[in-house]
């Protein structure tokens, strides 16, 4: 019993040196040239096919003979052996003593079968299969407690022994005592100590160089995808079986589809993706599509999977793809956790140079392949097929580091050259500011904040810049104490306080002092500071004061102020839950024209007030912060501009619809990004503008 192998150190995977021109082309590469191997296969197949064969039989036989020539050309051509024997290498019969490959007995799976474990390994040096590096064989031995019986494998040509040889190489899983039978063996290119629970103690057996199985990939010139799949376990891998063949991807790589995912390979990078993300990757044409190649191995269903030119994202039960510039933008803005929310479909092409990805926020991430720019857009209806970006809103933020600073910033914007009159209000202890913005508009005055017991430096600096002749402090000592009131006297020649301990009467005081007369009055509920502020631009547009009332009835002092003003129309802002119909009847009984602007909530009421103020610019702020509302009103009454409310991290539907309808060219944001986030600021830039 002898072998004819060349010395181990010089042998190649094929067991012999082949002519340089005989190197077969990689299995996945189409080639138009006719190689030596191809010509030989053709000739031999014809010779062997002396009987008449159908086309399918001819192809099967040709493939088998091609494999035999590839792995053992000299042996196949000069020795009396079958093509199958050349595929499986030497010593492939049961009585020749070796153990079978797991792929042979395990339905193509290059994994240890159930009831066995990796028990040891050896290597074969300088193998073609592993790109010139060692190929490793890991024995799977019967697990203690499991059972199996000695038999011969019934592979196409691998008929070696199964569960017969009671032997162990001993470098893997040494926590398992004793020696059991070798069930089968698996093939790796990765060193076993990197692959599994094995040590580096090396054993070499180059005499087994030709051993192989017809259920393993071709032993010559495997692609990186083939090797990676092999090491994952072939059909026993998380990917399952390969569907079709490996195919060319973009930019010189390749990719393959599997039962449970896909794998891409380009340069030195080969990675796979499984599960729903794998399905989405295949759906987007894999490496032939916009996502490019996976950049790391992925199993399960993580929130996001990266590819070299895009990502796939989990969105509920779906997975959607964002690619290239679209994905860069989407990632920069926090992906599913950002203001745009999860994708709602794959990003895809639109007419012209456009690509766009939809998100749960109803914003699209739009990418222009002509100029490479990417922007958020609330609507894609206006995209020009010629690639000209549609006009969108300009969003500008007016804010400081704190409430006093933000008020000062608004003042600098509305009164860059100073002001004769300045309103000063408390910063929120008790709220007496309902009528102030309308009065400030009437008197052309900015509104600044003080603490109850001190004047913040930001406010003091701004008052000094404004250089007013008159400071009007609105609020009782609860808001502005005597000491602060006295300090204000150092900042202007005249200081006066307009206040009552009841806010309804404070509003009357503000109206009485600021307005000699008015045709219109805006009336809101005394408990809704928010509506008083967002309706202030309406009051300003009507040159009207803002008065407030209890829900159920109109106090005589308010009725008297309306009489004093000589008003003939009252605009009630708020639904009957905030200003009752009894108040309406009372006003009408006084001969006044009464109209109501309302909605089901403050948010929708605010949005409806918006309808009454025609402007191509709007002011946006967050609706819960007292100081932001006052500052927004102070800015909005100047022109006047309508105010709309947003949440810190989202744009509510009523606000969204109003902006879409109006298409403002400038949106002024009032408040720090702690109250109106950067994301909302970015979203506002995506609205179409007139």
Residues within the interface to other proteins (CB under 8 A): 1-3, 7-9, 95-98, 122-123, 133-134, 150, 161, 164-171, 174-179, 181, 191, 193, 199-208
Residue 293 is encoded by which pair of tokens?
A: 């190649």
* Closer residue to other proteins in complex, CB, 178/556: 178
Instruction: Quote the longest CA-to-CA distance of the chain.
Output: 124
What six digits make up the tokens of 159? 């008929």
Nearer to other proteins, 171 or 615 (CB): 171
Q: In the complex with other proteins, which residue's Cβ is closer, 130 or 570?
A: 130
**170 or 428: CB nearest other proteins:** 170
**CB-nearer residue toward other proteins: 160 or 442:** 160
Report the nearest approach of other proteins to the CB of residue 1 (Å): 5
Minimum CB separation of residue 248 from other proteins in Å reads 31
Nearest CA-CA partner of 549 in 565, 567, 525: 525
Q: Which is nearer to other proteins, 199 or 344 (CB)?
A: 199
Closer of 3 and 31 to other proteins (Cβ): 3
Q: What is the DSSP letter of 474?
A: E
Q: How far is CA 328 from the centre of its chain?
A: 9
The whole-angstrom separation of Cα 543 and Cα 519 is 8
Query: Least distance in Å: CB of 111 to other proteins?
Result: 22
Which of 538, 620, 621, 530 has its CA nearest to residue 572? 538
Q: Which is nearer to other proteins, 101 or 485 (CB)?
A: 101
What does the angle CA 186 – CA 105 – CA 169 come to, to the nearest 5 degrees? 35
Task: Give me the least distance between CB of 234 and other proteins, in Å please.
Answer: 22
Q: Residue holding tokens 């080639």?
A: 31
Which is nearer to other proteins, 60 or 96 (by Cβ)? 96
In which residue are the tokens 């456009």 written?
A: 354
Cβ nearer to other proteins, comparing 96 with 560? 96
Q: Is the peptide bond before 385 cis (omega within 30 degrees of 0)?
A: no
Reported residue count of the chain is 690
- CB-CB contact of 306 with 291 (8 Å): no
Find tokens 């702690």 and name the residue.
674
- 248 sits in which H/E element: strand 242-248
**Distance in Å, CB of 362 to other proteins, minimum:** 54
Of 186 and 594, nearer to other proteins (C-beta) is 186
Which is nearer to other proteins, 97 or 385 (by Cβ)? Answer: 97
CB of 203 to other proteins, least distance (A): 4
The distance of closest approach from Cβ of residue 170 to other proteins in the complex, given in angstroms and rounded to an integer, is 6
Least CB distance from residue 223 to other proteins, whole Å? 21
Distant-in-sequence, close-in-space partners of 266: CB < 8 Å, separation ≥ 6: 249, 251, 252, 253, 254, 287, 292, 293, 308
State the nearest-atom distance from the C-beta of 101 to other proteins, in Å. Answer: 15
Q: 122 with 204: CB under 8 angstroms?
A: yes
What residues contact residue 611 under an 8 Å CB cut-off, 6+ apart?
A: 658
- Shortest CB 152 distance to other proteins, Å: 11
Q: How far is the CB of 194 from other proteins (least distance, A)?
A: 8
Shortest distance, CB of residue 211 to other proteins, whole angstroms? 11
What span, in angstroms and rounded, lies between the C-alpha atoms of 357 and 349? 9
CB nearer to other proteins: pick between 13 and 622 = 13
Q: What is the number of other CB atoms lying within 10 angstroms of the CB of residue 482?
A: 10
Q: What is the DSSP string of 626-677?
A: HHHHHHHHHHHTTTT--EEEE-SS---HHHHHHHHHH--SEEEEES-TTTS-
Sheet holding 269-274, edge to edge: 242-248, 254-258, 261-266, 269-274
Q: Which residue has the tokens 């004061």?
A: 545
CB neighbour class for 247 (10 Å; exposed up to 12, middle 13-18, buried from 19):
middle
How far is Cα 179 from Cα 389, in angstroms, rounded to an integer?
73
Shortest Å distance, C-beta 303 to other proteins: 35
Within 10 angstroms of residue 606's Cβ, the number of other Cβ atoms is 26
């Amino acid at each position: 019993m002898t072998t004819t192998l060349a010395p181990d150190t010089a042998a190649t995977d094929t067991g012999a040196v082949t002519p340089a021109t005989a190197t077969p082309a990689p299995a996945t590469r189409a080639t138009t040239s006719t190689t030596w191997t191809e010509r030989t296969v053709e000739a031999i197949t014809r010779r062997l096919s002396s009987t008449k064969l159908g086309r399918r039989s001819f192809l099967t036989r040709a493939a088998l003979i091609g494999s035999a020539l590839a792995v053992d050309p000299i042996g196949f051509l000069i020795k009396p052996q079958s093509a199958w024997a050349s595929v499986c290498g030497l010593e492939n019969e049961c009585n020749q003593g070796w153990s079978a490959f797991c792929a042979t007995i395990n339905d193509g799976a290059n994994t240890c079968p159930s009831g066995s474990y990796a028990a040891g390994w050896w290597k074969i040096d300088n193998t073609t299969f592993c790109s010139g590096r060692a190929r490793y064989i890991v024995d799977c031995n019967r697990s203690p407690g499991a059972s199996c019986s000695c038999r011969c494998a019934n592979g196409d040509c691998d008929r070696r022994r199964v569960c017969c040889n009671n032997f162990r190489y001993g470098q893997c899983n040494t926590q398992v005592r004793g020696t059991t039978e070798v069930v089968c063996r698996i093939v790796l290119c990765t060193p076993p100590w990197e692959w599994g629970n094995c040590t580096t103690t090396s054993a070499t057996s180059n005499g087994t160089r030709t051993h192989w199985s017809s259920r393993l990939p071709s032993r010559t010139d495997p692609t990186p995808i083939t090797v990676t799949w092999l090491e994952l376990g072939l059909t026993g891998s998380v990917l399952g079986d390969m569907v079709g063949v490996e195919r060319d991807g973009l930019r010189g790589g390749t990719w393959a589809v599997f039962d449970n995912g896909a794998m891409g390979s380009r340069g030195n990078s080969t990675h796979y993706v499984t599960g729903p993300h794998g399905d989405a990757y295949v759906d987007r044409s894999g490496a032939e599509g916009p996502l490019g190649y996976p950049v790391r191995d992925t199993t399960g269903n993580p929130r996001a999977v990266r590819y070299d030119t895009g990502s796939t994202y989990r969105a509920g039960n779906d997975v959607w793809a964002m690619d290239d510039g679209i994905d860069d933008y989407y990632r920069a803005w926090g992906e599913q956790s950002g203001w745009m929310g999860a994708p709602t479909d794959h990003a895809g092409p639109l007419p012209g140079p456009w690509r766009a990805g939809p998100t749960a926020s109803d914003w699209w991430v739009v990418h222009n392949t002509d100029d490479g720019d990417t922007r958020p857009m609330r609507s894609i209806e206006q995209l020009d097929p010629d690639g000209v970006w549609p006009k969108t809103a300009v969003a500008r933020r007016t804010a400081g580091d704190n409430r006093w600073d933000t008020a000062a910033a608004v003042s600098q914007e509305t009164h860059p050259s100073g002001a004769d009159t300045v309103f000063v209000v408390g910063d929120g202890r008790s709220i007496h500011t309902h009528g102030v913005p309308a009065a400030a508009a009437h008197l052309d005055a900015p509104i600044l904040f003080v603490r109850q017991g001190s004047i913040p430096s930001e406010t003091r600096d701004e008052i000094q810049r404004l250089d007013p002749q008159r400071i009007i402090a609105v609020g009782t000592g609860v808001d502005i104490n005597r000491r602060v009131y006295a300090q204000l006297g150092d900042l202007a020649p005249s200081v006066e306080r307009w206040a009552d301990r009841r806010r309804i009467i404070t509003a009357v005081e503000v109206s009485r002092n600021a307005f000699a007369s008015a045709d219109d009055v805006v009336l809101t509920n005394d408990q809704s500071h928010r509506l008083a502020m967002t309706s202030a631009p309406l009051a300003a547009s009507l040159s009207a004061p803002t008065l407030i009332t209890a829900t159920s009835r109109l106090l005589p002092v308010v009725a008297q102020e309306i009489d004093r003003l000589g008003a003939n129309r009252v605009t009630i802002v708020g639904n009957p839950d905030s200003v009752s119909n009894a108040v309406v009847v009372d006003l009408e009984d006084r001969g006044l024209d009464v109209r109501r602007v309302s909605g089901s909530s403050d948010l929708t009421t605010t949005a409806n007030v918006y309808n009454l103020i025609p402007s191509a610019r709007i002011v946006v702020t967050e609706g819960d912060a007292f100081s932001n509302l006052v500052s927004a009103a102070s800015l909005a009454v100047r022109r006047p501009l309508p105010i709309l409310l947003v949440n810190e991290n989202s744009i509510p539907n009523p606000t969204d619809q109003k902006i879409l309808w109006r298409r403002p060219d400038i949106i002024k944001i009032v408040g720090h990004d702690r109250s109106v986030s950067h994301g909302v600021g970015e979203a506002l830039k995506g609205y179409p503008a007139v």
